[in-house]
Structure 1
């Protein structure tokens, strides 16, 4: 599995990265006005503000999507840490201890005794 944390937390991470990236772009764009670069500084500020605003809107969409997925996720008890965690899809990881979880018996790991034969 390519995820190192639960799928819901991965979606939230992408939303956070989009938020931080959008804010950084808007701050960089503001430099064109603060340092008085003239007309080109205002153009740079407008372009970076628009790109940053689009990034912020995308992050809002990602957070909304993660919230909607989270409401329909299966809530299970982790066999390792015993905490309640949410699971999306056939396999996922615990939000707390990162143990791989599944409800599909075909995807579950077999005991070590069965692998020896």
Structure 2
């Protein structure tokens, strides 16, 4: 699962996982009130609500970071599927077909001159 998609999609995946983890902790805290009742369950619920809120805030930070990275990413045409995709760093994968892409011709393998022209960044 990890390492098989573009870097921006990986960041978004981690944001989603932290969102689900935070929500799960909050639901677990609420379940303590339902099953146990009493004052001890309120403390249990409060602790898990705070931990869940921290997980949710971490996910917001990750989504914000992925959004900021996405605005500065280089846009290019994927030579495999022909769609516009964003690339972070020198090497990344296509967001759609998962083809390995690079901006460094020294790292490219099995490419003709026509394919090298196809991976040049799009000027916007």
Q: TM-score, normalised by structure 1?
A: 0.90
The secondary structure found in structure 2 opposite 1:35 is helix
Paired with 2:110 and 2:16, the residues of 1 have a C-alpha distance of 37
Paired with 1:67 and 1:94, the residues of 2 have a C-alpha distance of 17
Q: TM-score, normalised by structure 2?
A: 0.85
Paired with 1:110 and 1:27, the residues of 2 have a C-alpha distance of 51
Aligned length: 110
Paired with 1:76 and 1:61, the residues of 2 have a C-alpha distance of 27
Shift of 1:31: 1.1
Give CA deviations for 1:47-66 in whole Å, capped at 9, x if unaligned: 10000000000000000000
40-49 vs 67-76, greater mean Cα deviation: 40-49
1:82 corresponds in structure 2 to 82
**Equivalences for residues 1-117 of structure 1 within 5 A:** 3-110=3-110
Which stretches in structure 1 are left out of the alignment for 5+ residues?
Answer: 112-117
101-110 vs 71-80, greater mean Cα deviation: 101-110
Paired with 2:36 and 2:20, the residues of 1 have a C-alpha distance of 25
Give CA deviations for 1:26-63 in whole Å, capped at 9, x if unaligned: 00100122234312211110110000000000000000
2:118 corresponds in structure 1 to none
Paired with 1:51 and 1:101, the residues of 2 have a C-alpha distance of 39
Shift of 1:74: 0.2
